[in-house]
């Protein structure tokens, strides 16, 4: 069944728009409750809800809670908490369902709703389609304005303690680290954990006001992070997105590391220690081809999935593997977390730095990237690519020309009205030419915004 409302990472859009609003949130909460009950959740089962720091979060959380209560479940608010903290709490407490109100890296004007199933695992496409099929009619919207919640519980203390235990006590004594929390949900966790481990922290983006999440800071805007790292002589910098399920890093020279570089550092270390389960790293189709070359040279292999960290998780579980992620910085290490966890990924890299004695600028050299280029084009309509003859023809021509020395990819964003183009090849000029050809094909097939 095709999903109408769920995208690559839950339901997301402008707050107050046709989807992300309180009445729809209440209906979605009721549908999720029906789905959980059908899967065996008893009446009165606790559902854990968290949110990021957006001003629209409390109202949407209350509305989802109203729907959950109307469906026979007992919602409990965890307040502001990183997404992985909610997933971890769902697993720890044996809850049948978790909910996070967040739009991740999107601007403050957006918001969204995503769910975790039993065990803190992300929902599958089939799960999300099933929830959509159980949506009540608009006239049956639960009375979300009448949904008081019990006092908020604190999930961040347990989360911070668990994550700090991933490294030895005082492991980071003498380390200077810059942390950019994007004025988001990690403002009260990542700096706390790293300080607990002994690090001297210079914090950015830790004063959320409801409107400044991701505003010029965070994983989407690492420029200030890089400047601060070099100015302060820090060992590294860390930047999260708004809900903390991903991270990017900055080495001591001010160079930015994306998710591909983080994955290779973690995977090569695990291969050396013989702890990379199934000898396999799972990446998405968007990761650079250099990832495959680096892992293959070390005796491992890379499995690729569709874009979306839930697809990575599904492949990890199917293969019995534990490590995977996306170039955007979603890193899943099932030995540390049931979902993508930016702080867990940071701690993993810090462990490699400690054991190897190498700075981040040296560790990142393990990945030699193929030249890559991307373009994101706004479109007025997401027409199926099967109905776009110019795009299909250009992709086929480029794939023939590039052979095994490169690749192209065209896909629609799951959360925004955009089409995303990617090209990799042996040199920059070939990449730029491929992107230009793809963009021209897109403009022939798809209407552009006025």
| Tens digits of residue pLDDT in 121-180 | 999 999 999 999 999 999 999 988 866 787 788 889 999 999 999 999 999 999 999 999
Percent residues over pLDDT 90 in the chain: 89
Give the integer Cα–Cα distance in Å for 24 and 207: 30
Are 19 and 100 in a shared domain?
yes
Are 102 and 27 in a shared domain?
yes
Contact (CB, 8 A) for 180 and 239:
yes
Among residues 56, 62, 104, 366, the one annotated as catalytic is 104
User: Is there a domain that residue 376 lies in?
Assistant: yes
Are 20 and 128 in a shared domain?
yes
Res 1: pLDDT: 60
Res 416: pLDDT: 81
Average pLDDT value for residue range 5-16: 92
Q: Render pLDDT for 361-398 as a digit per residue (tens, 0 to 9).
A: 999 999 999 998 999 999 999 999 999 999 999 999 99
Are 313 and 439 in a shared domain?
no
In DSSP notation, 251-302 reads: -TTS-EE-HHHHHHHHHHHHHHHT-SGGGEEEEETTS-HHHHHHHHHTT-EE
Are 110 and 39 in a shared domain?
yes
Neighbours of 282 (CB within 10 A): 29
- Residue ranges making up the domain that contains 431: 372-445
User: Is there a domain that residue 2 lies in?
Assistant: no
User: Is there a domain that residue 396 lies in?
Assistant: yes
Are 23 and 128 in a shared domain?
yes
Packing angle of the helix pair 22-38, 57-70 (nearest 10 deg): 40
**Active site annotation includes 104:** yes
Are 22 and 92 in a shared domain?
yes
Are 378 and 424 in a shared domain?
yes
User: Is there a domain that residue 199 lies in?
Assistant: yes
Are 298 and 238 in a shared domain?
no
> Both ends of the chain: CA-CA distance in Å?
33
Give the integer Cα–Cα distance in Å for 347 and 165: 10
Contact (CB, 8 A) for 301 and 268:
no
* Boundary-marking domain end, from 257, 278, 298: 257
Are 128 and 185 in a shared domain?
no
Res 155: pLDDT: 87
**pLDDT at 450 exceeding the cut of 80:** no
Contact (CB, 8 A) for 341 and 247:
no
Please give the radius of gyration of the chain, using alpha carbons only, rounded to the nearest integer. Answer: 22
Res 145: pLDDT: 80
- Over the chain, what is the mean pLDDT? 95
Please state the three-class secondary structure of 319-337 as a single string: HCCCEEECCCCEEEECCCC
Classify the phi-psi angles of 360: left when phi > 0, otherwise alpha if psi is within -120 to 50, otherwise beta: alpha
Q: What is the CATH number of the domain that holds 414?
A: 3.30.310.50
Are 325 and 383 in a shared domain?
no
User: Is there a domain that residue 90 lies in?
Assistant: yes
Q: What is the CATH number of the domain that holds 30?
A: 3.40.120.10
* Boundary-marking domain end, from 203, 231, 257: 257
Res 84: pLDDT: 97
User: Is there a domain that residue 450 lies in?
Assistant: no
pLDDT class for 33, splitting at 50, 70, 90?
Answer: very high
Are 89 and 214 in a shared domain?
no
User: Is there a domain that residue 365 lies in?
Assistant: no
Q: Render pLDDT for 223-260 as a digit per residue (tens, 0 to 9).
A: 999 999 999 999 999 999 999 999 999 999 999 999 99
* CA angle (40, 44, 49) in 5-degree steps: 95
What's the number of domains the chain is made of?
4
**pLDDT at 218 exceeding the cut of 70:** yes
| Three-state SS at 114 | strand
Res 151: pLDDT: 75
User: Is there a domain that residue 354 lies in?
Assistant: no
Handedness of CA 21, 27, 33, 39 (dihedral sign): negative
pLDDT class for 343, splitting at 50, 70, 90?
Answer: very high
Residues in the chain: 450
pTM score of the predicted model: 0.90
* Boundary-marking domain end, from 232, 257, 282: 257
């Amino acid at each position: 069944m095709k999903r109408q409302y769920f995208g690559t990472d839950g339901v997301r859009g402008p707050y107050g728009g046709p989807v992300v609003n309180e009445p729809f949130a209440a209906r979605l909460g009721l549908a999720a409750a029906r789905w959980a009950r059908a899967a065996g959740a008893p009446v009165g089962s606790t559902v854990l809800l968290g949110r990021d720091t957006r001003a629209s979060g409390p109202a949407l959380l209350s509305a989802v809670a109203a729907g959950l209560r109307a469906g026979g479940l007992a919602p409990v608010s965890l307040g502001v908490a990183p997404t992985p903290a909610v997933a971890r709490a769902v697993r720890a407490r044996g809850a049948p369902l978790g909910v996070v109100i967040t739009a991740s890296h999107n601007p403050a004007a957006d918001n969204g709703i995503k769910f975790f199933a039993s065990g803190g695992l992300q929902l599958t496409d089939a799960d999300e389609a099933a929830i959509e099929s159980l949506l009540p009619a608009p006239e049956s919207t639960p009375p979300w304005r009448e949904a008081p919640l019990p006092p908020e519980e604190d999930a961040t203390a347990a989360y911070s303690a668990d994550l700090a235990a991933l490294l030895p006590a005082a492991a980071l004594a003498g380390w200077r680290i810059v942390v950019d929390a994007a004025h988001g949900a990690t403002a009260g966790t990542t700096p706390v954990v790293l300080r607990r481990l002994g690090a001297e922290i210079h914090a950015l983006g830790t004063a959320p006001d409801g409107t400044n999440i991701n505003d010029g800071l965070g994983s989407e805007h690492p420029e200030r992070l890089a400047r601060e790292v070099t100015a302060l002589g820090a060992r590294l910098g860390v930047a999260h997105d708004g809900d903390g399920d991903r991270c990017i890093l900055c080495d001591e020279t001010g160079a930015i590391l994306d998710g591909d570089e983080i994955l290779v550092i973690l995977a090569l270390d695990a291969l050396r220690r013989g702890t990379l389960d199934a000898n396999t790293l799972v990446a998405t189709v968007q990761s650079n081809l250099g990832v495959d070359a680096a892992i293959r040279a070390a005796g491992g292999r890379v499995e690729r999935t569709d874009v979306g960290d839930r697809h990575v998780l599904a492949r990890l579980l199917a293969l019995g593997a534990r490590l995977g992620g996306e170039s955007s910085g979603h890193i899943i290490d099932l030995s540390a977390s049931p979902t993508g966890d930016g702080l867990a990924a940071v701690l993993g890299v810090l462990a490699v730095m400690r054991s190897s004695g190498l700075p981040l600028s040296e560790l990142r050299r393990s990945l030699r990237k193929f030249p890559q280029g991307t373009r994101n084009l706004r479109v007025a309509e997401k027409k199926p690519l099967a109905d776009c003859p110019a795009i299909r023809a250009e992709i086929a021509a480029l794939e023939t020309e590039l052979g095994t020395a490169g690749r192209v990819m065209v896909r629609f964003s799951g959360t925004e009205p955009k089409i995303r183009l990617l090209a990799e090849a042996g040199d920059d000029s070939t990449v730029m030419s491929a992107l230009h050809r793809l963009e021209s094909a897109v403009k022939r097939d798809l209407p552009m915004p006025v």
